[in-house]
Amino acid sequence: MIKIIIDEQASGRINSFEMKGHADYAEHGKDLVCAGASAVSFGAVNAIISLTGITPEIQQGSDGGYLKVIFPESEKDSEIQLLVKAMIVSLQTIEQDYGQHIKIIFNR
């Protein structure tokens, strides 16, 4: 199962997210839950870098089963937060249909 841990302040600001594990929906290379979650998360991080010029701290595992992204506070924070929250909505959509393979946990 892919677990996504969202670190959120009481104010609603997302500090970071961490994805770990494998969906195990299908064999490697054919796992649409993994592909969807990866595309959404990497797409959001790439959009943040490209559209705001801010590069968050990114930690990745060597086997593809781990990603942690920490968002620095900056003058572009409102833009970053909008993109991160859009990513979360997309991941929640995947979770609605494939909840046995992907789980989102909010640390508030």
Number of domains forming the structure of the chain: 1
Active site residue 101: no
Residue 32 has pLDDT above 90, yes or no: yes
Residue 105 in any domain: the answer is yes
Residue 80 in any domain: the answer is no
Active site residue 22: yes
pLDDT digits (tens, 9 = 90+) for 68-106: 999 999 999 999 999 999 999 999 999 999 999 999 999
Confidence (pLDDT) at 88: 98
pTM assigned to the model: 0.94
Alpha-carbon dihedral sign for residues 83, 87, 88, 93: positive
Domain residues for the domain of 57 are: 17-74+98-108
Tally of residues, the chain: 108
Residue 62 in any domain: the answer is yes
Residue 60 in any domain: the answer is yes
Distances 85 to 22, 30, 48 between C-alpha atoms, Å = 22, 27, 12
Residue 7 in any domain: the answer is no
Active-site residue identified among 2, 4, 33, 34: 34
pLDDT digits (tens, 9 = 90+) for 3-23: 999 999 999 999 999 999 999
Active-site residue identified among 13, 20, 22, 68: 22
Residue 54 in any domain: the answer is yes
Residue 39 in any domain: the answer is yes
Residue 4 in any domain: the answer is no
